[in-house]
Structure 1
């Protein structure tokens, strides 16, 4: 809702300016600045309440809560009134405990003097009036629980969830419904395009092929729709009126406040832990030619049973081969996917560093070592949308989450640019840090309100990212920036010493952040308190790539030692599985040329990606992507399929899944990006 409100405010501003209503526009801006609802941004409301608590402003806190009560809470049904009362009680206790922890006895006594008329008749406050006179109250059995960090975290998370669900359930004016209408139109357009492509395929094939294809279509699995995995939990919190004073005393229970419940669709087995990234793909693609359409190589599923072995198809713009292809071996009942097609994006002229799909699955952004960024789409046809050139070297990129048309570009001179891919222009350029100019990694919070930026000191060979790593880990910083104010919010503490962070990843709701560093250490951060929860030595050498698993109870990592490891985040440093990967999956990557010339590239982009259900992982190889099945055994991976198609080492991958087809992106050192469309088979 917050994003829709923000977008509507901007549209109203534009309309008033267009009409020349400048005085009305000034009044609107003043009203927005004084908006106590903060544009329905829950994080800002929580920040405002915490500001009152930290500054001992009892009057301001009470007045702000009264405003929320008049504006929001009083409209709730009676069944939710007790939940509001419990939240207010916890807020008052949060305030009192803070005055004692800060040693401000006067404010503690002031609270009870001013609140005595309101609280003396309430049973839950009966024992609290002796609090100012109790020596060492943090050790008293009655009050000790309220001095724990777990209680404060539980209260803040519960308040955040309650307000989030409240805003989602509020009746919206017609003007705000445009966002839902846009998403609905996009979904209908995509569905129509898929049906059109299916119809085209059926019309161009003979009856025998049509009947065989229909049999294949009947095997399509029922995919779980992408959703916020905390949504059901939050609704349960409101309907069951959970007490916000629930105390969690262990680190496992504390983390559970931030993690999803692992819900699955009825009748489906719980998948093996792994992460995923949502996207968009098409069942089939019509080979069309436009001025901006790159060279394609399309493979179409044959209706005849596949042979035991296959050979690579001849190199041509279009070829018809078995869907599994030679790279995947003979198609068998055990194979989890059928390769429907493989297309090539060839607009880059140098090795790829990053290749990422946006959160809507409609656009791809790819960056090469020459600093050229291409923004392109692949549905219904492959087409370049924008080309970004930069005078300074670019080292990293990341899609923003809200709105998803924005792209963050990190440079080698200490700046991050915010680029609008639709308007094709730079919106902001942020100066991050002159002493740490290499922006190695960017990660946007799923809430869309901030992004994490990893900045590192210059390496001894300049800004050449293809050079060898330093024998001693470079110094670095991990910073949090606000995308609304375009200002730095804070700098994270990196223990035991400042070190370059190579990779970063948020969990699904942005409450947790995992990082992999040049010192081989994985660090897990609590994004509610901006503190490090735990860290452990993960690899001998640098950590190249990290991701949360699907259920977010574990973290996967690939390091310089060539190991693919699964870590339990509830038990610091405990491995759940480990597997040694070949060098062409972990880097450094080597491309040999004429006269003994060798191009060496250290890993920079994502080295592995998961399918939508977290059961399979896509990794790099010397000739294309490799798909593994994740297992619960000591050996973490079981190879099931090779995508192939590349003549140079693949250096970064991405996997997006939507509707009935998944799309794997594999990018190589010769600048070629292969887009393989997969069809999941029913088990």
Structure 2
């Protein structure tokens, strides 16, 4: 019915074109006195309201009778009751309006005219007392009808009723033709818009195909050039050793060459480096000679943020040993940040990843590419800690240096709450969420923690004067408990470096810079037991090994032990069978790993201990958290991944039962700043670097090691 006015204009135009002047004038005159109001419900209601405001009861009933004959009488019989109710409400509104404007004569006139007709109707019995009521507005019989709510309800109901009638009326052919024409015009506009979208998509597709073709050409050229250079270098080494020794000694050169290949190929999809086989063997008579050339893979693959390269079975057999603990299915490199990564975490369900860089830009993304990802800018404060809520992927917590803990809802893309720490605890150093209850714990301190003296194992390396462990209730958004770590002298305090809950969230274990391990009852937030790993190690071995600065603590899978890794890479296991940790086994994870871990942990806060190591240059501009997560355990705690390799650029997997290295991951170009192991399935490891890259390694456990 919205096109009635447009159609009227077309009819008038046609009458003028045909010269039907008298017909045109008659049509225009009737159009001005149109009682149908071009089938617009709001105009019909305005017409009824004008009769009421003028107290014209005869005109009101006459117009209502016209509507009844024109429309209401043609309705199905089941709607007659609704029409009668609308008529009753319309007459009551007439009386209410007259009462509000003190037109008592019109009220008396109404009952004089229609009293005999309404007498005996139970719906009007009490209304005969309206002229005699002193204050109808407060009279219980009439009070509801003087409210704005009643008038609005009546008006809206009548409006909807009239619209429903007009929309279901049989239309004349001319009006149907015009509606069809407008509909076709709308469809044509939509089709044109879709054509434009299709053309834009085709253009983008052609551009993408061109870029893919260019990249493939670059990869092919690089593979050819790299393979030629390495084969030539290998042949020169083999020729030199053959001439000097009179026999072919190919094992060492081939091994070195293959190691070089393995170290320089950070591919997006690769397999685990295998044990190096001799490229040739020499028997006693020098009769049987065999050699095997190392396979070369282009380094350009490392620049691809999301890409996979598949290998045939021959390649996988060459690069993957059968006795490896894990099978690496893919290693994908992501370039999502423009500055060094400070924190990177898997979500509870492992479907999302949160990463934070030195510019305090947090990104929430998925390796599957199903969601476009979120960006959270935090320019007003520095993010020191980050943790996902442990029961879903909905909430992410940020700890800052302005005593604020923000609770971010990644579904609504907004901060839903801010937790305020005490004024003397502005720095939120660590956050850990309970896996079973809506509770999280955090450690706070008052000033920046210095790590310029990490090897002392004392508080000398920290300038904090106040430190505490605080537990929060997420439901009530309030503090549940506080445990202060102030020393008796009150001159300094040692902030907590690591916090981990047990499986049911009833207990948590913490570690600090002095080497103290404490197990807390989360309900009372009081220590159940505590010990110092430095003291425990000195009672077993007079020659103290390790820094005593706790880097990571965790309950074992059976919760009979506590795993501890200190800053120097020393791995310890403490059995909880006795009131005090009398059973204390200590293992060095790896000498190279220890040095790399220690160096990396120092470099993370901007102190480059090795000026000759080019891979660690450029770290001094970062302002990362007080303790980046350099160690992560598998869900069953049978393995751990930590920072290792030359310059701390690789992730190393160790076995917790004996401390032996079982696997190494692809290297980054600069030192790692954070590692994480997916806690849900355990099939993904995340490594982050100061060069702004993140590497996601998908693994499966070898069947030979089940």
Which of 498, 504, 507 is equivalent to 1:503? Answer: 498
Show CA shifts across 1:65-86 (max 9, x none): xxxxxxxxxxxxxxxxxxxxxx
- Greater RCO structure (CA 8 Å; 6+ sep): 1
Q: How has the CA–CA distance of structure 1 residues 639 and 460 changed in structure 2, closer, same or farther, with 3 Å as cutoff?
A: closer
Matched, 1:620 2:611: no
Matches within 5 A, 1:152-301: 298-299=268-269
TM superposition score normalised by structure 2: 0.48
Matched, 1:372 2:361: yes
Q: CA deviation at 1:619?
A: 1.1
Which of 383, 390, 410 is equivalent to 1:394? Answer: 383
Show CA shifts across 1:38-84 (max 9, x none): xxxxxxxxxxxxxxxxxxxxxxxxxxxxxxxxxxxxxxxxxxxxxxx
CA contact (8 A) 2:308 2:332 kept: no
Show CA shifts across 1:270-322 (max 9, x none): xxxxxxxxxxxxxxxxxxxxxxxxxx9631669x9998766564222346366
Matched, 1:548 2:547: no
CA contact (8 A) 1:355 1:605 kept: no
Show CA shifts across 1:447-500 (max 9, x none): 2321111101213779xx9xx996246331111111111111221254765531
- SS of the residue corresponding to residue 596 of structure 2 reads helix
Which of 510, 535, 554 is equivalent to 1:515? Answer: 510
Instruction: Considering fraction of residues, name the structure with more helix.
Output: 2
Q: CA deviation at 1:598?
A: 5.3
Matched, 1:664 2:685: yes
RMSD: 3.7
| Structure 1: 5+ residue stretches without partners | 1-295
Matched, 1:640 2:662: yes
Partner residue, 2:676: 654
CA–CA separation in structure 1 for the residues paired with 2:665 and 2:419: 39
Show CA shifts across 1:141-189 (max 9, x none): xxxxxxxxxxxxxxxxxxxxxxxxxxxxxxxxxxxxxxxxxxxxxxxxx
CA–CA separation in structure 2 for the residues paired with 1:595 and 1:446: 36
- SS of the residue corresponding to residue 589 of structure 1 reads helix
- SS of the residue corresponding to residue 660 of structure 2 reads strand
CA–CA separation in structure 1 for the residues paired with 2:571 and 2:316: 22
Matched, 1:610 2:633: yes
Q: CA deviation at 1:419?
A: 0.6
- SS of the residue corresponding to residue 342 of structure 2 reads strand
Matched, 1:478 2:469: yes
CA contact (8 A) 2:449 2:461 kept: no
Q: CA deviation at 1:382?
A: 8.1
Q: How has the CA–CA distance of structure 1 residues 382 and 356 changed in structure 2, closer, same or farther, with 3 Å as cutoff?
A: same
Which of 438, 446, 458 is equivalent to 1:449? Answer: 438
| Structure 2: 5+ residue stretches without partners | 1-265, 279-293, 535-546
Q: How has the CA–CA distance of structure 1 residues 459 and 301 changed in structure 2, closer, same or farther, with 3 Å as cutoff?
A: closer
Partner residue, 1:315: 300
- SS of the residue corresponding to residue 620 of structure 1 reads strand
Partner residue, 1:176: none
CA–CA separation in structure 1 for the residues paired with 2:412 and 2:475: 18
CA–CA separation in structure 1 for the residues paired with 2:374 and 2:529: 42
CA–CA separation in structure 2 for the residues paired with 1:594 and 1:542: 25
CA–CA separation in structure 1 for the residues paired with 2:665 and 2:375: 28
Partner residue, 1:557: 564
Show CA shifts across 1:417-436 (max 9, x none): 11111111111112102212
- SS of the residue corresponding to residue 583 of structure 1 reads helix
Q: How has the CA–CA distance of structure 1 residues 493 and 597 changed in structure 2, closer, same or farther, with 3 Å as cutoff?
A: closer
CA contact (8 A) 2:570 2:586 kept: no
CA–CA separation in structure 1 for the residues paired with 2:485 and 2:689: 33
CA–CA separation in structure 2 for the residues paired with 1:534 and 1:372: 39
Which moved further from structure 2: 372-381 or 431-440? 372-381
Which of 567, 592, 596 is equivalent to 1:584? Answer: 596
Partner residue, 2:419: 430
CA contact (8 A) 2:449 2:626 kept: no
- SS of the residue corresponding to residue 557 of structure 1 reads strand
Q: How has the CA–CA distance of structure 1 residues 333 and 455 changed in structure 2, closer, same or farther, with 3 Å as cutoff?
A: same
Matched, 1:629 2:620: no
Show CA shifts across 1:584-621 (max 9, x none): 22422366669976538786232222223332211112
Q: CA deviation at 1:583?
A: 2.5
- SS of the residue corresponding to residue 703 of structure 2 reads coil
Structure exhibiting the larger radius of gyration computed from Cα positions:
2
Which of 570, 573, 576 is equivalent to 1:569? Answer: 576
Partner residue, 1:681: 702
Q: How has the CA–CA distance of structure 1 residues 583 and 380 changed in structure 2, closer, same or farther, with 3 Å as cutoff?
A: same
CA contact (8 A) 1:442 1:453 kept: yes
